[in-house]
Chains A and B, each alone.
Chain A
């Protein structure tokens, strides 16, 4: 007997809403088993992961700091994924945004003007859009697979950043170490909660969630995204341009990723470094899918994944759990979430080997 997945004719709408909670329950169960096997108290471990990071205002603010880039990029990517445009290179677009935003800051040093930050934001957005326009051009002109081109451009972007901070952008007073000077005050993001690191980027992430939700549900282009994603032939028949959709979704994703990159260097980091992002552009892909490609879903998914990172650090500090356990636990969480989703849409059936062989 061989198990296979059969698509359900109709999936239960109730289950769509219950499934995240089932997944959470299963994760807790799996966590209890994992931590018991390691000889740690499951209650303490789960507390360290999910509760203790949020016992202070500072903890909540850090959650916002960590989740902002994930949400900002995740919501933008989900639009592209809905339209069947697979932009895997948000990490590179983020890096270009950080480079361009950072270059504006360094170029304007030490100008003290309220225009510095807006210019940096524009620089970041344009940088990310430019990087995303390359896969868009290659896709629409030569039909090159955007998964490959956008991914490979990520490595080019990371090397470009490395080249710049090892060379022209190096801090003149920094003993030749590879980092730019620390941005001056006018080029640093304002903190929106005193005593924490929560910055303006969090507000933009929320605005992005609302804006993209409106775009998807109320605008013509949102409608086109949904039609082309679900039924490309119908979309073409209706006269929607697939090429325009590719350009639109890639530029949107690239621009938002670029903005997120600029926020990182201008906010929590405060300078250009050889490494800016711990893989936010890649994690945002997970955020988009865990959020079921829905803007509000992406918001919650971004918060959940951010919390699992904070919890992982916390578990290392308070319980001496190795980082590998954090990885396994995060993996479990994602696995259960996605597995539950699959089982909403599909059911597991078994068929004998012989029937399989004959088709």
Chain B
């Protein structure tokens, strides 16, 4: 009883600023933007918030904005990348949202188009490269750094020497992840290979599960994925092989099979950008953060990961964070065995952004 009352009390106190702001708006007819309470931030998602992957992690970031800064953070979920996106973004801009995060690549052109009409609203587009007006920023995470860490674990732990990789669409982002994973794996285990299945979807538990089954049937004893559902982990759990989670901690879906998950951590970035808008210091930037800044992080290792493998994986994490290791350090050969860069060289961001070839050790043809 007492605790419930206490809860009620804390809820009321926590909501006090918002209530006061509402009161102020009601009385004076003006909104209070200056101190953040009452500032509206909008999010547009490509998937459902319950996907346990990409959209789920963005929504966690949105919630942290609400709890940390007391701003009102609206979202619209499952918005198709096409003609509808522009309307939803414009609707967010016209309904008083001062900062709008558009969290999928396909929103790039609509975001830039709407941004030109609303110079007072700040737009943040995830994973794109166009900033056509000075109220547009782009941001993404160096997920390939995380893939180098899980590739290291896979290299140590595969027995069959075949690792399965469920890939979504053949865009540079995904190809870069496959390559980073493969390079790290073969540093540890030069004979191991990666088999890729392209499922042409970001989120389709049925297809992802089928891909995992096919890969396991072809001898894969570890499954990595660049899709958003935990379906592949559940298949791995059933079939007694290992798997990595994607975007969020997926250990609960496969307590035995789960080795670790790359966790997308947008919270600090979202809070920093919202604060910048409130403080009037927001400027158009292109952010590409990784392990060092914490945008790419990891869930705890599964029980199956032995101590020496943990140590090796931790060393890669620390090396990437300090800059002593880069996932695309040479020597680096393409799939055909031709040298791309030699020893002592390193691929630059420009090469990474447009990457459209497999490295040595990936089996099969790249579609498209």
Contact indicator B368/A166 (Cβ below 8 Å):
yes
Does any Cβ of A come within 8 Å of B129's Cβ?
yes
Residue-wise, chain A 162-188 has the 8 Å CB interface mask toward B (1 for contact) of 110011001000011111001000000
Contact indicator A317/B76 (Cβ below 8 Å):
yes
* Count of A-B contacts judged by CB separation below 8 Å: 92
Interface residue total, chain A, C-beta cutoff 8 A: 38
Contact indicator A178/B91 (Cβ below 8 Å):
no
Residue numbers in A under 8 Å from B81 (CB-CB): 273-275
Contact indicator B169/A274 (Cβ below 8 Å):
yes
Contact indicator A275/B74 (Cβ below 8 Å):
no
Taken together as a complex, chains A and B put the C-alpha atoms of A291 and B160 apart, in Å, by 59
Does any Cβ of B come within 8 Å of A62's Cβ?
yes
| CB-CB under 8 A for A269 and B368, given A176-B356, A322-B77 | no
- Chain A residue, CB-CB nearest to B366: A166
Taken together as a complex, chains A and B put the C-alpha atoms of A278 and B79 apart, in Å, by 9
Contact indicator B368/A177 (Cβ below 8 Å):
no
A162 → B minimal CB distance (Å): 6
Taken together as a complex, chains A and B put the C-alpha atoms of A167 and B368 apart, in Å, by 4
Contact indicator A278/B76 (Cβ below 8 Å):
no
Contact indicator A175/B368 (Cβ below 8 Å):
no
Residue numbers in A under 8 Å from B74 (CB-CB): 316-317, 320
Residue numbers in B under 8 Å from A91 (CB-CB): none
A38 → B minimal CB distance (Å): 16
Contact indicator B87/A313 (Cβ below 8 Å):
yes
Residue-wise, chain A 50-65 has the 8 Å CB interface mask toward B (1 for contact) of 0000000000001001
Interface set, chain A 197-233, CB cutoff 8 A to B: 197
Does any Cβ of B come within 8 Å of A159's Cβ?
yes
Does any Cβ of A come within 8 Å of B355's Cβ?
yes
Q: Among the listed A178, A310, A316, A317, which residue makes an inter-chain contact with B169, where contact means beta carbons less than 8 Å apart?
A: A178
Taken together as a complex, chains A and B put the C-alpha atoms of A275 and B106 apart, in Å, by 9
- Chain B residue, CB-CB nearest to A276: B82
Residue numbers in A under 8 Å from B76 (CB-CB): 313, 316-317, 323
| CB-CB under 8 A for A177 and B95, given A269-B83, A271-B109, A323-B48 | no
Residue numbers in B under 8 Å from A62 (CB-CB): 87
Contact indicator A182/B170 (Cβ below 8 Å):
no
Q: Among the listed A176, A197, A269, which residue makes an inter-chain contact with B354, where contact means beta carbons less than 8 Å apart?
A: A176
Taken together as a complex, chains A and B put the C-alpha atoms of A149 and B49 apart, in Å, by 35
Residue numbers in B under 8 Å from A162 (CB-CB): 169, 200
Does any Cβ of A come within 8 Å of B42's Cβ?
yes
Q: Among the listed A170, A177, A317, which residue makes an inter-chain contact with B92, where contact means beta carbons less than 8 Å apart?
A: A317
Name A residues whose Cβ lies closer than 8 Å to a Cβ of B.
Answer: 62, 65-66, 159, 162-163, 166-167, 170, 175-179, 182, 197, 264, 267-271, 273-278, 309-310, 313-314, 316-318, 320, 322-323
In the A-B complex, the 7 residue pairs with the smallest Cβ-Cβ separation, listed nearest first, are: A166-B368, A268-B83, A278-B80, A167-B368, A175-B354, A176-B356, A316-B76
28 contacts between A and B (CB under 8 A): A65-B87, A66-B84, A162-B200, A167-B368, A170-B368, A175-B129, A176-B171, A176-B356, A178-B368, A197-B87, A267-B83, A269-B83, A271-B109, A273-B81, A273-B106, A274-B106, A278-B82, A310-B87, A313-B88, A313-B91, A316-B74, A316-B75, A316-B77, A317-B88, A317-B91, A320-B74, A323-B48, A323-B77
Name B residues whose Cβ lies closer than 8 Å to a Cβ of A.
Answer: 42, 48-49, 74-84, 86-88, 91-92, 95, 105-106, 109, 129, 169-172, 200, 353-356, 367-368
